[in-house]
Amino acid sequence: MGISTFLLLFFGLALLIFGGNLLLKSAVSISLKFNIAKILIGMTVVSFATSAPELIVSIKSALLGSSDLAISNVLGSNIANIGLVLGFIILISPIKIPKDIYR
């Protein structure tokens, strides 16, 4: 792996950060312009935008005849997203479970 690989990696990460900030600002702007709750915009527009890469890969693999790759991509990305987000949230703020739930 040469220096060009690392430059491409850092350039891609910089574009990812820039795109994420632009998406967030645009979503807030849409919610303010149309007087829609931010949570609703987050659950629709932002969730679609974050799932778009998986959708494109799944469609392309299905068109190329790799339906198993399409299904695996959808299932794997959803399981990973849920597991990573839930795990990260629990690391930051542990979930308190009452003792009477064990009985």
Q: Which domain covers residue 34, as residue numbers?
A: 3-96
User: Using 50, 70 and 90 to split pLDDT, how confident is the model at 103?
Assistant: low
What's the pLDDT at 35?
A: 93
**Spatial distance between the Cα atoms of 33 and 27, rounded to a whole number of angstroms:** 10
| 3 state DSSP class of 100 | helix
Total structural domains in the chain?
1
Half-sphere exposure of 41 (CA within 13 A, CB side): 16
**Residue 102 within any structural domain of the chain:** no
| pLDDT tens digits, one per residue of 12-64 | 999 988 988 898 899 899 999 999 998 888 888 888 887 888 888 888 988 99
| Helix (H), strand (E) counts: the chain | 4, 0
Longest dimension (CA), the chain: 59
Within a domain: 81: yes
Is 103 inside a domain boundary?
A: no
